[in-house]
Amino acid sequence: MAPSQKLEVIVAPDKPTIVTRRTVDAPRALVFDAWTKPEYIKRWLGPRNMEMVVCDVDLRVGGGYRFVHRTPDGQEFGFHGTYREISRPDRMVSTYVFEMFPDAEAVETLVLEERDGRTTVITTTVHKSIQNRDAHLANGAMEAGMNEGYARLDELLPDIRRAA
Amino acid sequence: MTTATSRLSADDLDATFAALADRTRRAMIAKLARGEASVLELAEPHDMSQPAISKHLKVLERAGLITRSRDAQRRPCRLEPRRLKLVADWIATYREYWEESYARLDDVLQELQGQSTQKEKSHGTVTKTRSHRRPR
């Protein structure tokens, strides 16, 4: 895999955001379609071992989507949202609710930047609070620290400490 | 605790994150990360009634984040790092989720591009006509 095809996940310490960035080898109109048409979404969104059992898309401003993954052991994870802005082929804004935390609605912006036939996909997810964000995403320090052992857990949980 | 070796259920995660979503409880966890503590010690920095403190501790206990000794009169609270570890593992799947999704997206895009290249070839004349019209 080319280095530019590495997924970047950027988590700001002081803002409730998650930014991801990944370059794909296709023009952005195709990427936009792959991102918004159920027949394609079904084929790529989610890990290979999960089946997408619901893939509803009503692609218009004010319309909604709902996706449900099923794990091999039968657990289902659903998420849904509403489209707020659809600007093919370079931008889309939608809300995002992970149904396990129904009150933690976030806003996701998809930006597609094309250069030389390749597209950099930038997603920005803005949660209502850092706590909500962290509930969805532990920062790398926490994860790495956990693997080292639990002896100095307080150092591994900067957000918890800051809040304290 | 038996959950250490098993997957967290959706309910477990829900309870754990709900427990972590409160400032007072996070402060308690931060304190317990430095070692076990009594209820009194945990209550000390907070301007809160004893029942309110007990309620917070119960939430943490139910979420599997802390355990309380049953025998000792002092009933010290102890952090249960396994649960946090399981949560951290679950969160690490965010990255895996997107890495795998993008790997699959690469395949779909490759296929779509193959199709559009073929289309261009079969409609070569149309493309040509268009490019003539378009001012450069």
Range of the domain at B43: 10-79
Domain assignment of residue B14, yes or no: yes
Whether residue B97 sits in one domain with residue B66: no
Provide the number of structural domains found in chain B: 2
Cβ(A31)–Cβ(A88) under 8 Å?
no
Alpha-carbon distance B69 to nearest alpha carbon in chain A (angstroms): 20
DSSP bridge partners of A115? A118
Is the complex ipTM more than 0.90?
no
State the CB neighbour count (10 A cutoff) for residue A83: 19
**Could you tell me if B4 lies within 8 Å of chain A, comparing CB atoms?**
no
Test mutation, B82, B91, B120, chain A, max A CBs within 10 A: B91
What mean pLDDT, rounded, does chain B reach?
76
Alpha-carbon distance B49 to nearest alpha carbon in chain A (angstroms): 18
> Closest partner residue to B105 among A34, A77, A136, by Cβ?
A34
Whether residue A141 sits in one domain with residue A109: no
* Beta strand A91-98 pairing with B77-79: unpaired
Query: Looking up tokens 């355990």, which residue turns up?
Result: B67
Last residue of a domain, one of B33, B54, B79: B79
Q: What is the CATH number of the domain that holds B39?
A: 1.10.10.10
Phi first, then psi, for residue A75 (nearest 5°) are -75, 145
Q: In A, which residues are within 8 Å of B29 by CB distance?
A: 157, 160
Test mutation, B6, B28, B108, chain A, max A CBs within 10 A: B108
Whether residue A36 sits in one domain with residue A67: yes
> Closest partner residue to A48 among B23, B104, B109, by Cβ?
B104
Whether residue A98 sits in one domain with residue A78: yes
Query: According to the model, what pLDDT value does residue A111 have?
Result: 98
Alpha-carbon distance A28 to nearest alpha carbon in chain B (angstroms): 10
When comparing pLDDT for A149 and A53, which is higher?
A: A53
Whether residue A149 sits in one domain with residue A81: no
Query: Looking up tokens 């794990």, which residue turns up?
Result: A71
Q: In B, which residues are within 8 Å of A100 by CB distance?
A: 10, 13-14
Whether residue A164 sits in one domain with residue A84: no
Whether residue A164 sits in one domain with residue A93: no
> Closest partner residue to B98 among A7, A135, A154, by Cβ?
A7
Query: According to the model, what pLDDT value does residue B93 have?
Result: 66
**Could you tell me if B78 lies within 8 Å of chain A, comparing CB atoms?**
no
pLDDT at A151 over 70: no
State the CB neighbour count (10 A cutoff) for residue A39: 11
Whether residue B96 sits in one domain with residue B119: yes
End-to-end Cα distance, chain A: 42
Average pLDDT over residues B21-29: 85
In sequence order, which ranges of A13-64 are alpha helices (DSSP H)?
28-36, 38-44
Whether residue A95 sits in one domain with residue A154: no
- Which positions ≥6 away from A11 have C-beta within 8 Å? A17, A18, A19, A133, A137, A139, A140
Range of the domain at A138: 131-164
Integer angstrom CA distances of residue B4 from B9, B49, B83, B134: 12, 33, 7, 65
Identify the H or E element spanning B43.
helix B39-43
Per-residue pLDDT reduced to its tens digit, B44-63: 999 999 899 999 999 999 98
Whether residue B74 sits in one domain with residue B107: no
C-alpha to C-alpha distance for A98 and A30, rounded to whole angstroms: 26
Cβ(A24)–Cβ(A119) under 8 Å?
yes
Widest pairwise Cα distance in chain B: 90
Provide the number of structural domains found in chain A: 2
Whether residue A121 sits in one domain with residue A75: yes
Cβ(A132)–Cβ(A106) under 8 Å?
yes
Whether residue A58 sits in one domain with residue A107: yes
Query: According to the model, what pLDDT value does residue B120 have?
Result: 57
Phi-psi group of B35: left, alpha or beta (phi > 0 → left; psi -120 to 50 → alpha; rest → beta): left
Per-residue pLDDT reduced to its tens digit, A81-124: 999 999 999 999 999 998 877 888 999 999 999 999 999 999 99
Q: What is the CATH number of the domain that holds A37?
A: 3.30.530.20
Whether residue A140 sits in one domain with residue A70: no
- Which positions ≥6 away from A48 have C-beta within 8 Å? B100, B104
> Closest partner residue to A7 among B29, B102, B108, by Cβ?
B102
C-alpha to C-alpha distance for A67 and A78, rounded to whole angstroms: 6
pLDDT at A128 over 50: yes
Whether residue B75 sits in one domain with residue B97: no
C-alpha to C-alpha distance for B74 and B52, rounded to whole angstroms: 18
Partner A, chain B 10-39, Cβ-Cβ below 8 Å: 10, 13-14, 17, 20-21, 23, 26-27, 29-31, 33-34
Whether residue B106 sits in one domain with residue B62: no
C-alpha to C-alpha distance for A20 and B64, rounded to whole angstroms: 31
Whether residue B114 sits in one domain with residue B56: no
DSSP bridge partners of A124? A19, A109
Whether residue A114 sits in one domain with residue A146: no
Whether residue A121 sits in one domain with residue A146: no
